[in-house]
Amino acid sequence: MAPKSAAASVLSRRTLLRNGVAMAALAAFSPIAQTKESTQKENTMTPTSADKNAIRTFPRVNISEAELTDLRRRVNATKWPERELVPDATQGVQLATIQALARYWGTEYDWRKVEVRLNALPQFITEIDGLDIHFIHVRSKHENALPLIVTHGWPGSIIEQMKIIDPLTNPTAHGGSAADAFHLVIPSLPGYGFSGKPTAPGWNPVSIAKAWATLMQRLGYTKYVAQGGDWGNAISEVMALQQPPGLLGIHTNMAATVPPDVSKALAMGGPPPAGLSPDEKHAWDQLVDFYKNGVGYALEMSNRPQTLYGIADSPVGLAAWMIDHDIRSYQMIARSFDGKPEGLTPDDVLDNVTLYWFTNTAISSARLYWDTVHNLPAGGFFDARGVKIPVAVSAFGEEIYQAPRSWAEKAYPQLIHYNKFDKGGHFAAWEKPQIFTEEIRASFKSLQSGVAKAAA
């Protein structure tokens, strides 16, 4: 490596602070924290009574007309600021975009349609470690279907996975064979959707991963796989590190593969390590841009989630906060409200935001960031964690960063599948359900056939 100039070798306090805090905001914890030998304090509130272990049917979703009327009133009464001072989204969600969203939300959007879809699904509640966990559970009609638990992230919900349920559980109706079938378990994260809201700190990826293993055990699944992106990836990877009995492998659409030297350079705000391949340099550039321009939401939710009263009180404020997750997702959503939908329609976007509104989970969901940063050891969200069990990776080009194959092979010694796509972003199952379904089938085919043979 060529010697650095004196100016380049001395990082400003501002650069160090910006990059260090940005990475801390997305801290997922060091791998040591998730192993079976972890010295982290464990939640010992596992219920012992039969009643607490019971799986209860979740009641039908039926938001009152009064609540719907109040939502429209609030949307239509939004107090607007002046427009942004630049011709792009560098200052945040553009006024024209959020006003288009509000016009549709306040006049045409029909929440009852998503209620019908939700109520057509088998949904349940069970108490784990003192908290009610909501989940969708759809069993395939096909014998030897492989159980799969799918975890959403922020600003997502179970709405993200609704398009993949029938293709995965009923593959013969969607171009697949009976051998492609899955039993699906789709939980709502603690503090999200219809799950209970934690009343004390302690619900973070380590405790949630343990809860998911308990859930699968409670459902009677002795062999299963896990999938996730965003927080769902962190939780699935932690499950892989904890190695609960029966977990065969995981699939991720937002892999944590960043090598230590790259992670260190990102944190210091320095140049990239020498010798990066074109794919690795592309991933580096994406990460630098995200930490510089795109991590504001995580900073606030990691440090001061309770301060976000505005998004609990204003539906338009909530929508703007949620659609500003990452620049490529935002651009896709903006085009959708401009009459050019691709991946997500205006209804898709508002189904998710409206679920957050009616469940009043703007702040309870944000606390997952705070709990992770304050109660687990520091580590980069995208840092390789040392997962040893089989892993499959689908790398979408419009994700926060597209994990290169070379990094994936180092991060996951048992990489059983890798595929990359030019299109498709952060909400893969939601945006590209057909590709996502095909990826899940291909990723777990070897594990699925092994389970089927063992059952024969």
d(CA 258, CA 267): 12
- Please, what sign has the CA dihedral across residues 49, 50, 55, 60? negative
Count of C-beta atoms within a 10 Å radius of residue 296: 12
In the residue annotation, 183 being an active-site residue is answered as: no
Report strand pairing: 224-228 vs 391-398: unpaired
- Please, what sign has the CA dihedral across residues 234, 413, 445, 258? positive
Q: Assess contact for 369 and 297: CB atoms under 8 A.
A: no
Q: One of 224, 297, 330, 369 is an active-site residue; which one?
A: 369
Q: What is the DSSP string of 182-233?
A: EEEEEEPPTTSTTSPPPSSS--SHHHHHHHHHHHHHHTT-SSEEEEESTHHH
Q: Assess contact for 328 and 155: CB atoms under 8 A.
A: no
Residue whose tokens read 């979703």: 61
In the residue annotation, 369 being an active-site residue is answered as: yes
Output the CA torsion 160→330→298→251 (10° steps).
40
Q: What is the length of the chain? A: 456
Structure tokens at 261: 């030297």
Strand ranges for 319-432 from DSSP E: 391-398, 415-425
In the residue annotation, 426 being an active-site residue is answered as: yes
d(CA 10, CA 27): 25
Report strand pairing: 247-252 vs 415-425: unpaired
Q: One of 129, 230, 348, 371 is an active-site residue; which one?
A: 230
Sequence-distant (≥ 6) Cβ neighbours of residue 141 within 8 angstroms: 169, 170, 181
Q: Quick one: which H or E segment has residue 43?
A: none
Q: Is 79 helix (H, G, I), strand (E, B) or coil?
A: coil
Nearest to 31 by CA among 209, 254, 293: 209
Output the CA torsion 37→38→42→44 (10° steps).
0
Q: How far is CA 150 from CA 204, 361, 405, in A?
A: 17, 20, 23
Which residues are catalytic, by number?
230, 369, 426
